[in-house]
Amino acid sequence: SQQGEEDPQALSIQEGENATMNCSYKTSINNLQWYRQNSGRGLVHLILIRSNEREKHSGRLRVTLDTSKKSSSLLITASRAADTASYFCAPISETSYDKVIFGPGTSLSVIP
């Protein structure tokens, strides 16, 4: 199995500030994905970064990956109240049949 662990578990910032959350995992990956989940809603795929990539951007999102440290970070720039949600990382192993064990996620609160 592959386990992701997010840090911090809770983060509260003012609107307009940047939010950074981290993910650590245990074994080699094929790719790592970040998902957002608004309260009471389903998972929304944010971004996928492959093991041979170090950084990826998508709008206000910036994801980095350090395979030597087995860690990834998600940066949300110029945060908005609508960014308030839980964020989960899903490290995907090199084999498609390897299950993902989710961590607690990072609960982000953006205060208007």
Find the shortest distance in angstroms from Cβ 94 to another protein.
6
Stretch that binds another protein, among 11-19, 62-70, 76-84, 87-95 (CB under 8 A): 87-95
Q: Which residues pair with 62 in a beta bridge?
A: 57, 75
Identify which of residues 17 and 94 has a Cβ nearer to another protein in the complex.
Answer: 94
Q: Is 92 near another protein (CB under 8 A)?
A: yes
Which one-letter amino acid corresponds to residue 36?
Answer: R
Cβ 63 to another protein shortest distance, Å: 14
| 38 in contact with another protein (CB under 8 A) | no
Under 8 Å between Cβ of 42 and 95: no
Q: Which two tokens mark 53? A: 């990539």
Reference 75, options 58, 90, 95; nearest CA is: 58
- Do β-strands 85-93 and 106-111 pair in parallel, antiparallel, or remain unpaired? antiparallel
Which residues of the shown chain bind another protein in the complex (CB under 8 A)? 30-31, 33, 35, 40-45, 48, 88, 90, 92-105
